Amino acid sequence: MNSLFAPTRWILFLALWRMSYEAANISGSTPPVKSFLVESDAKQETSVSAEKEWAEKAVKRYADAQEKKWQRWNEAMFEAK
């Protein structure tokens, strides 16, 4: 089970791990600042506002259609003929 090379493997593993860490964190030059925020322009903002209006209108029409459907269902099921 115990190998003569086991300590050597661990030392090699730790050395490679440390070198990869150091290589990833090189402080010689400053990397450019990255922004992860979504940048928009005026054209996109007008289309977004139009899409919001269309979505509100679609939701209202859907709610009206569902209300009519349930009203018809209630009339068919529970009201006397």
Closest CA to 38 of 30, 52, 28, 48: 48
pLDDT digits (tens, 9 = 90+) for 14-72: 999 999 988 887 766 666 677 777 666 666 667 778 888 999 999 999 999 999 999 99
CA angle 14, 16, 22 (to 5 degrees): 100
How far, in Å, are 4, 12, 16 from residue 1 at the CA level? 10, 19, 24
CA distance 13 to 7: 10
Residue 50's pLDDT is what? 83
